[in-house]
Chains A and B, each alone.
Chain A
Amino acid sequence: MIESSVDVVNRAGLHTRPAAMLVKIASKFQSEIYLVRDGFSINAKSIIGVMTLAAEQGARLGLTVVGADEQEAANAIKDLFASGFDEP
């Protein structure tokens, strides 16, 4: 199990388009991926779940990954957040 955290860096936050990107990438891995905000944990493969976070720029989310490909999955999710979802 990997426990880490990610920051929302893009200005518009985790709105619908980034949420869809995140879900698409998360769904490529077998591991279970969870994002946690203020103790509220959601499955990163669920679009409604990710949207529920309503994470604005600057928000810090906990990241928990469990599974066979957890290292790759964690890296991919971190890279995605760091890239700001290709947004300013």
Chain B
Amino acid sequence: MPSIRTITPHQKDHITVRDVLAGPLRLRSLTDDVGMDNKITDKSMHRPQLALAGYTEFFTFYRVQLFGNTEFYYLNSLTHADRVKAFRNICMFNVPCIILANGHLLENELIDLAREHNVAVLATDYDTTKAIQQLSDFLDDQFAPQLNVHGSFVDVYGVGMLFSGASGIGKSEIALDLVERGHRLVADDIVVFTQKRESILMGTGTSLVKHFMEIRGLGVIDVRQMFGVRAIRFQKRLEIIVELEVFDPDREYNRTGLDESLTSLMGVEIPTIKLPIIPGKNITVISEVIALDYLLKTYGYHASKVMAERLHDEITKRRSSRASTDQRHITYFMGDDE
């Protein structure tokens, strides 16, 4: 069985200016269709202040060029001839596109210059800082490493749980059971995880499969049609991996919950629980409990640690004095016999 640890991530080697235009920046093109198919190969953007000033030694021209207030104030401080020259300095290079922030516009002569050099000029009303944030976020996402994982991904009480395990072990059935109990399916069978910033993996289904799933013996069903929109969601952060496997008496399973095992996916460590499947064991209920325990830990209550401390205190107490050894929770029963 291929473990999810062994899958290699992939990532886009380029996007086009058209993709950026369709992104979340509310951009409009000032150069119509010019340069729409220009490739962007780098997830960083560039503020071309030095290049405008004429220093193009290390000009990262292949990046998206963002004009904020500084660039505009600089250009406006120049004479018309120098402004054209400065702008030409940039267009001469193979720049994929220029984004104008803060609602700034360029005079027609400069726009025409961009057209001549096949450079797309896009404008947004977002202020410079906001445009930088949105653009970085968008480019980060577009160029982020992605990982396809075979499993079922469900939002259980708001906790993103990935069920992995061999084919036919019942991942889809567990997901279906969870949906029936009011939880939400993100994706079944193929889950695509995208790394966000350093430590976050966001999971979603594929555009073709969406919320369809296969149930052995039944065929393909559409969870969204069947259970409605409340039963699905489009994306979720991965928080726990549940590895299902047929119970193996020779294997050791976690008994105390003190040792957490982690799976590293694209360098992000995800808490992982190995769950043996035994007849009569309700994996769905256990999954809900795993999610609730995760929430408790997130809010600072770690049941196994609390139990370990209680035990430690009790042993310490007994060592100093031979205290009562009545194990009952209460020391005597009240007289009402109830």
| Assembly CA distance A56 to B311 (angstroms) | 10
Interface of B is mostly: helix
User: Does the CB pair B256–A56 fall under 8 Å?
Assistant: no
Question: Which A17-35 residues have C-beta < 8 A from chain B?
Answer: 17, 19-20, 23-24
Answer whether residue B298 sits at the interface, using C-beta atoms and an 8 A cutoff.
no
A13 adjacent to B325 (CB under 8 Å): no
For A14, A15, A52, the residue with the greatest tally of chain B CB atoms inside 10 Å of its CB is A15
A16's nearest neighbour on chain B, judged by CB, is B308
Given A15-B308, A19-B256, A20-B256: A55 touches B325 (CB 8 Å cut-off): no
Interface string of A28-68 (1 = CB under 8 A from B): 00000000011010000001000110111111000000000
Give CA–CA (A58, B256) in the complex, Å: 24
Instruction: Give the CA-CA distance A23 to B258 in the complex, in Å.
Output: 14
Taken together as a complex, chains A and B put the C-alpha atoms of A23 and B257 apart, in Å, by 13
The number of chain A residues with a CB under 8 A from chain B is 22
A16 touches B258 (CB 8 A): yes
Q: Is residue A12 contacting chain B, with contact meaning CB distance below 8 A?
A: yes
* Inter-chain contacts of A56 with B (CB < 8 A): 315-316, 318-319
List the B residue with the shortest CB-CB distance to A57. B319
* Complexed CA–CA distance, A49 and B307 (Å): 12
Within 8 A of A (CB), among B57-115: none
Residue B177 is within 8 A (CB to CB) of chain A in the complex: no
Which A residues touch B207, using CB under 8 A?
A: none
Q: Is the CB of A47 within 8 A of B256?
A: yes
Q: How far is the CB of B11 from chain A (nearest CB, A)?
A: 41
Contact present for B255 and A24 (CB under 8 Å): yes
B204 CB to nearest chain A CB (Å): 38
Which residues of chain A have C-beta atoms less than 8 A from B258's C-beta?
16-17, 20
Decide: A54 and B311 in contact? CB cutoff 8 A. Answer: yes
Most buried by B among A13, A17, A54: A54
Instruction: Please provide the chain A residues from 50 to 88 with a CB less than 8 Å away from any CB of chain B in the complex.
Output: 51-52, 54-59
Chain A residue at minimal CB-CB distance from B327: A40
> For the complex, what is the distance from the CA of A24 to the CA of B316, rounded to whole Å?
24
Interface status of B180 (Cβ within 8 A of chain A): no
Contact A16 B252 (CB under 8 A): no
- How many angstroms between the C-alpha atoms of A14 and B256 in the bound complex? 14
Q: How far is the CB of A15 from chain B (nearest CB, A)?
A: 5
A41 to chain B, nearest CB (A): 10
> Does any Cβ of A come within 8 Å of B312's Cβ?
yes
Knowing A13-B315, A13-B319, A14-B315, say if A38 contacts B325 (CB, 8 Å).
Answer: yes
B interface residue numbers (CB < 8 A to A): 252, 255-256, 258, 304, 307-308, 311-312, 314-316, 318-319, 325, 327
Task: List 16 additional A-B contacts (Cβ < 8 Å) besides A19-B256, A52-B327.
Answer: A12-B315, A13-B318, A15-B308, A15-B315, A16-B307, A16-B308, A19-B311, A24-B252, A24-B255, A37-B325, A40-B325, A40-B327, A56-B315, A56-B318, A56-B319, A57-B319
Binding site for B on A (CB under 8 A): 12-17, 19-20, 23-24, 37-38, 40, 47, 51-52, 54-59
List of 6 A-B pairs having minimum Cβ-Cβ separation, nearest first = A16-B308, A54-B314, A13-B315, A56-B319, A56-B318, A38-B325
Query: What are 14 A-B interface contacts by the 8 Å CB criterion?
Result: A13-B319, A15-B311, A16-B312, A17-B258, A20-B255, A20-B258, A24-B252, A24-B255, A37-B325, A40-B325, A47-B255, A54-B311, A55-B315, A56-B315
